[in-house]
Amino acid sequence: QQPVQSPQAVILREGEDAVINCSSSKALYSVHWYRQKHGEAPVFLMILLKGGEQKGHEKISASFNEKKQQSSLYLTASQLSYSGTYFCGTEKEKWSYGGSQGNLIFGKGTKLSVKP
């Protein structure tokens, strides 16, 4: 089941904040976030694992609500370089006690445009 991202698109001025949401109808093992600039390949941003472990970098943070099967990506004090399409990728839980299904299902993306 493909996760649902919202909003589909957002336009910001430099320095403004944005939140991108990702929700799934299935129990999740992890949520991954990627950013893709026009004409380029997706680039990894971070992983959020069930149990709260978070891995990532840059000035971007995220949360993962396991019970609600939702994740949110927070971009604060946006920069021009943040422009691009953000994808969440979800790993379904393989067993009730955990374990990964082994592959990502990506949402359709949120297009972020940061203007000067």
Partner 1 sequence: DARVTQTPRHKVTEMGQEVTMRCQPILGHNTVFWYRQTMMQGLELLAYFRNRAPLDDSGMPKDRFSAEMPDATLATLKIQPSEPRDSAVYFCASGSPAPGLAGEAGSYNEQFFGPGTRLTVL
Whichever of 16 and 100 has its CB closer to partner 1, that residue is 100
**Cβ 49 to partner 1 shortest distance, Å:** 5
Q: Please provide the size of the chain in residues.
A: 116
Whichever of 16 and 56 has its CB closer to partner 1, that residue is 56
Q: How far apart are CA 16 and CA 108, in angstroms?
A: 23
Determine, following the binding rule CB under 8 A, whether residue 94 of this chain makes contact with partner 1: yes
Q: Tell how many helices (H) and how many strands (E) occur in the chain.
A: 0, 12
Strand partners, 82: none
Q: Select from 87, 104, 11 the least CA-distant residue to 45.
A: 87
Q: How far apart are CA 43 and CA 30, in angstroms?
A: 17
Determine, following the binding rule CB under 8 A, whether residue 66 of this chain makes contact with partner 1: no
Which 24-63 positions form the footprint of partner 1 (CB under 8 A)? Answer: 29-30, 32, 34, 40-44, 47, 49
**Rule CB under 8 A: which residues touch partner 1?**
2, 29-30, 32, 34, 40-44, 47, 49, 87, 89, 91, 94, 97-100, 102-109
